Structure 1
Amino acid sequence: MANDGLIISADPYPSPNPKVKLDMVRYFAGGLRVKGLLARPTDGSGTEGFLYLRGGIKNVGKVRPARIAQFASEGFTVFAPFYRGNQGGEGNEDFGGKDRDDAFAGFRLLQSLPGVERVHVFGFSRGGLMALLTGIQFPETASVVTWGGVTDLFLTYVERKDLRRMMKRVIGGSPKKVPNRYKFRTPLYELENLKAPVLLIHGRNDRNVSVEHSYRIEKRLKDLKKPVESWYFDEYTHYFPPVVNRKVVSDLTNWMKSQPQ
């Protein structure tokens, strides 16, 4: 829609880092007024935009100000959509369906900010499929990084018996009943249209999102002769120890900055 990404309001939000300014933002996405968190370095850096796409659903995997500030402190202007229906936003999220518009509008929002020269996309867990779908939607995406990222919703349904009831409710049925809805949410089938370089980060002991998700996307990208790099960690699960986490954040943001203009 024409006004997607337009900021309706921006209110100062308490920042855990004195070098990072936070704002709670309400913006348009797919005709809805949804919300997100915007973080900017106070020193005026942040010419690189960073779209942070969270995992989970509803109150699981909520955007954490400290995490957003952590990425902003690496010299990025960061925007993290809460997804529709969350924290006072209109609508209902639907796990990579129409709520992808919240990510797409977030990308446009970053592009519209003064001083932001290009936009990278990052997705954690369920945010992985949102990140890839956003990269496919916007050929000008500077880079895409997924961390423990979902790439195949059919595989998620098979692996996560505990999520099946939620997935059937939110998506409208099982993969057998509504296969096209699962395919629509699976970026694996649209990678021909992805132009951005991709970095995959995954713990091989991940029980929330198996490393098979990254293996599948890596193989497909390589078959298509697309630029892809993977960092696999034998000893880690879905969540990395804090000291390792900080190191990986530093490494992945440096990787983003190193991508050619």
Structure 2
Amino acid sequence: MVESLKLISKWKFPSPNPKVRLYMVEYFSSGLRVKGLMAEPDDEKQYEGFLYLRGGIKRVGMVRPARIAQFASEGFIVFAPYYRGNEGGEGNEDFAGDDREDAFSAFDLLKDYPRLKDGRIHVFGFSRGGVMALLTGIHRSETSSIVTWGGVSDMHLTYKERKDLRRMMKRVIGGTPNKFPERYDWRTPIHDLENLRAPVLIIHGALDKNVSAEHAKRLEKQLKKLGKSHETWYFNEYTHYFPPSVNRQVVQKLTSWMKSQSRSS
């Protein structure tokens, strides 16, 4: 059954949780056929939407079924785009470039989903997905809330800090920040937060070496400067990845935080 013009096809995918249904989804994004994974509670009730924006690029940081099933089990319809060029999807992923459209189109797909409750959609980004989440909130003003966990906020800073990613970034983005500063600016949402209406929750481990806590601090500083609603949860003892027991606790807390946010007007 095709619920939306944006949705091309949807078929069942093995679920790690008997109380959660998983589906592989193919949908349109800027004319490309892109794929993603959807998770929803195994009943017929309506739930708020949860757009899960993964980190990494290509196989690094790929969407994990257990992770989105975990969020669905907290009472959400979860959709996680793989981004273009992955898992048989058309196009090429370009690290928060044109592939941001895959997040925007995924948001629109959720908005049309029959089981969506009250039109509420929350956006979650992990690592590189933090940039994607902020960009989505900026371009989709009806976003109910945004959570960025260990999230990138400044692509110039990523290039500076992650020497191991420079070769990939130069290839995908087309050069260095010195040569093409505008391309890195375009991928840096903290420059456009004036247009953000959704409340933001920033979660970051102080010992994070993948995405330094400076990303969180820069985002926090700009949100504060603009008078935007935000909250910060810093964890002094953790890195980019939290221990499983702590991770579960934080998931429960952040999903409760999402549900407590008033709908954007």
Fold similarity call, TM over 0.5: yes
1:92 aligns with 2:77: no
Deviation at 1:58, TM superposition (A): 0.3
2:171 maps to 169
Partners of 2:5 and 2:110 lie apart in 1 by 8
**1:52 partner SS:** strand
Partners of 1:33 and 1:5 lie apart in 2 by 12
1:101 maps to 101
2:12 maps to 12
Deviation at 1:45, TM superposition (A): 3.8
2:80 maps to 80
Match of 2:237 among 218, 222, 235: 235
Is the contact made by 1:5 and 1:108 (CA closer than 8 Å) also made in structure 2?
A: no
Is the contact made by 1:35 and 1:81 (CA closer than 8 Å) also made in structure 2?
A: yes
Q: Structure 2: which 5+ residue stretches go unaligned?
A: none
Partners of 1:83 and 1:178 lie apart in 2 by 24
Is the contact made by 1:56 and 1:126 (CA closer than 8 Å) also made in structure 2?
A: yes
Partners of 1:248 and 1:164 lie apart in 2 by 31
Match of 2:133 among 101, 115, 131: 131
Is the contact made by 1:40 and 1:46 (CA closer than 8 Å) also made in structure 2?
A: no
Is the contact made by 1:5 and 1:29 (CA closer than 8 Å) also made in structure 2?
A: no
| Amino-acid identity (%) | 69
Partners of 2:5 and 2:219 lie apart in 1 by 28
1:218 maps to 220
Moved over 3 A (4+): none
Q: Structure 1: which 5+ residue stretches go unaligned?
A: none
Q: CA RMSD in A?
A: 1.0
Aligned length: 258
The change in CA–CA distance for 1:53 and 1:46 in structure 2 (over 3 A counts) is farther
Deviation at 1:46, TM superposition (A): 4.7
The change in CA–CA distance for 1:126 and 1:47 in structure 2 (over 3 A counts) is same
Partners of 1:146 and 1:46 lie apart in 2 by 25
Deviation at 1:47, TM superposition (A): 1.8
Is the contact made by 1:129 and 1:151 (CA closer than 8 Å) also made in structure 2?
A: yes
